[in-house]
Amino acid sequence: MGLKEILEHHIVDHIWSWVNLGPLRLPISKHLLMMGIASLIMLVGLPLLIRSRAKALAPFRSIIEIIVLFLRDEVVYPNLGHKGDGYMGYFSTLFFFILTLNLIGLVPFGATATGNLAVTAGLALTTFALINFAGIREQGVIGYFSHIVPKGVPGWLYPLLFPIELIGMVTKAFALCIRLFANMIAGHIVILAFISFIFIFGSLSAIVGFGVAPISVGLVLFTLMLELFVAFLQAYVFVFLTAIFTGAAMHPH
């Protein structure tokens, strides 16, 4: 088995069957299962934790509260202003959804759904929709599209800049999609590579393989810690950039 097969086995989705829903041909896959598990955890866990008055759960409640307040005060309010209150549900859910998917990817037998381009594309599409929705809601359709090109640009540049800005909007969402996907699979690839080292060196001789193993395992542990950090960081970055783009669409000046 080469590295290619190992990588594809561990990172690429496993499609078990297909569902036909009208014109759509929808896969039932491992990543969908992970999304389902994440959704279940969030749907059951978050309301329970938030509503419970149990003393044992108080620290978890505080953690959720601290994260949500951080998102509100450091991410949403600075970019969206106090109109951001209406978007808090979206941003909080986005953060916890990405975080949960990232963390499930680190659990044994789990798979990283956010390491799938289709999943991150779905998230980026919702962000794209949110950016345009918020901009149109704030400024009206005409106001929004007339503000797409920044103010103070000479009139003759408009025909050139308008398509560029339109492409820019798509690019932002596309960049979000690729950033999350790349960050999530990068760690996995590195871990798999480190583990493969053991077998690569083991194929030279068993002693070298055992000699390399502790170093590899140490490096894998280090990378896992890094991935844990990246799981939080990328969830934050995704939400933060979404907030910046949404804020820019709402307040064009």
Partner 1 sequence: MEALIRPEFGLTFWTILCFGLLVLLLSRTAWKPLMDSVNERERALKHDRTTAETARADAEKLKAELDAKLSDLKSEIGRRMDEARATAEKEKDLLIEEARSAAAVIVESSRKEIEAQKIEAARELRHKVAELSVMAAEHILTKQLDHRANTDLASKYLAELEKERPDLKLEC
Query: Residue 5 half-sphere exposure, CB side, CA atoms within 13 Å?
Result: 2
Least Å distance, CB 112 to partner 1, is 12
Residue type, 64: I
Distance CA 162, CA 157 (A): 8
Rule CB under 8 A: choose which of 90, 194, 238, 245 binds partner 1: 90
Residue 110-149 contact track with partner 1, rule CB under 8 A, x = bound: ---x--xxxx-xxx-xx-----------------------
Residues 53-72 within binding reach of partner 1 (CB under 8 A)? 64-65, 68-69
Cβ nearer to partner 1, comparing 13 with 227: 13
**Span interacting with partner 1, options 5-13, 131-139, 163-171, 202-210, rule CB under 8 A:** 5-13
Q: Would you call 135 exposed, middle or buried from its count of C-beta atoms within 10 A (0-12, 13-18, 19+)?
A: buried
Distance CA 41, CA 47 (A): 10
With a CB cutoff of 8 Å and minimum separation 6, the contacts of 6 are 192, 196
Least Å distance, CB 236 to partner 1, is 17
Buried b (16+ CB within 10 A) or exposed e, 88-121: bebbbebbbbbbbbbbbbbeeebbbbbbbeebbb
Residues that bind partner 1 (CB under 8 A): 4, 7-8, 11-13, 15, 18, 24-27, 29, 31-32, 35-36, 39, 42-43, 46-47, 50-51, 64-65, 68-69, 85, 88-90, 92-94, 96-97, 113, 116-119, 121-123, 125-126, 185
